Amino acid sequence: MNFELADLLEDDVEVLELIEVGVPSQVYDRNEYFFSFDELAFYKRFRLTKKRAFHVLEQIEKDLGRPYNRNNSIPPINQLLVALRFFAIGNHLLSIADFGGMHVSTVSRIVSRVATGIAKLYRKYIKIPSTSSEVSQYMQYNFTAGDSAYPQKPYLMTPLLSPRDTAEQLYNESQIRTRGPIEKSFGILKRRFPVLAYGCRLQLKTTLIIIVATCVLHNILRYNGVSLEPPESVDFDPEDIQNAINSGEISCTNISQNGNDNQTSSNCGMQKRKDLINNYFRRL
């Protein structure tokens, strides 16, 4: 069949070009945010000072580098800043991709890679038991404290709704006093890294790694004398997010099991709480 090129539709010409040339690669413009922002502007956008960001980069660069410089590869410092920006605003990956000058799939891989590298530093910046006696005590009494809105679990200690004696009252008082600082710490973490408040929108495995990574970053700031209170954000009013936390609009999703497994877990949790009261609070 004979035809002239002028007889083809525009879409047809594009298809022929794709067949002949292939899919064109897209090259993004990437800003050098580490140098373009002053210290305060950098701190507000990435939640770390430049000195601390470079300190983190030195420790995880081996996990981010590439053995070659081809196909517009992304330098480790750009990878770190993209991940920090995601932690700092908790926005969709597409927005971070536009900010970093990358494809959204690239950002997804970078966030996971950087978070994993930072999370590997947890032994250095998060206190964990080391001796056998510490491990034994840690396994016996290391629980998460939750309020009465959560079900009692082996790993989650909740208050007794109707304490019957002094030991149970002491347990409740201790549980409430313990929960207070924890809730305050969670509030600080959520304001410093809003991705923890707004939700990661990533796979559960990646989300768990990000939680550890942000805790590591928070402790790095603490150990180096940076204020516990997070910086004012250029993206939202800090009071808005704190009000949302206080009102319960931003909270952890309670993912429970089903059927007999859920009942077994609840029974085991109540027994754990009973043992804790009998073995500790009744001896005070």
What distances in angstroms separate CA 16 from CA 9, 271, 281, one per listed residue?
11, 71, 79
CA torsion angle 164 168 169 174 (round to 10): -160
Record the tokens describing residue 251, joined without a space: 């909270």
Record the tokens describing residue 91, joined without a space: 């926005």
The rounded distance, in Å, linking the Cα atoms of 215 and 136 is: 24
Query: Is residue 94 pLDDT above 90, yes or no?
Result: no
Q: Report residue 149: phi and psi, to 5°.
A: -75, -15
pLDDT digits (tens, 9 = 90+) for 238-254: 556 556 556 655 544 44
Banded model confidence at residue 89, pLDDT cuts 50, 70, 90: confident
Return the amino acid letter for 89: I
pLDDT recorded at residue 8: 41
What distances in angstroms separate CA 275 from CA 141, 144, 168, 201, one per listed residue?
10, 16, 11, 38
The rounded distance, in Å, linking the Cα atoms of 182 and 146 is: 9
For the chain, the first-to-last Cα distance in angstroms comes to: 97
Phi-psi region of 238 (alpha: psi -120 to 50; beta: other; left: phi over 0): alpha
Banded model confidence at residue 19, pLDDT cuts 50, 70, 90: low
Banded model confidence at residue 147, pLDDT cuts 50, 70, 90: confident
Task: Give the lowest-confidence range in 19-23, 142-146, 202-206.
Answer: 19-23
Banded model confidence at residue 25, pLDDT cuts 50, 70, 90: low
Q: Of 251 and 162, which is predicted with more confidence?
A: 162
DSSP-assigned beta bridge partners for residue 143? none
Q: Which runs of E-coded beta strand occur in 47-173?
A: 144-145, 156-157
Do 185 and 191 meet the contact criterion of CB atoms below 8 Å apart? no
Banded model confidence at residue 73, pLDDT cuts 50, 70, 90: confident
Question: Is residue 25 exposed (0-12), middle (13-18) or buried (19+ Cβ within 10 Å)?
Answer: exposed
Return the amino acid letter for 148: S
Q: Which runs of E-coded beta strand occur in the chain?
A: 144-145, 156-157
Average pLDDT over residues 65-89: 80
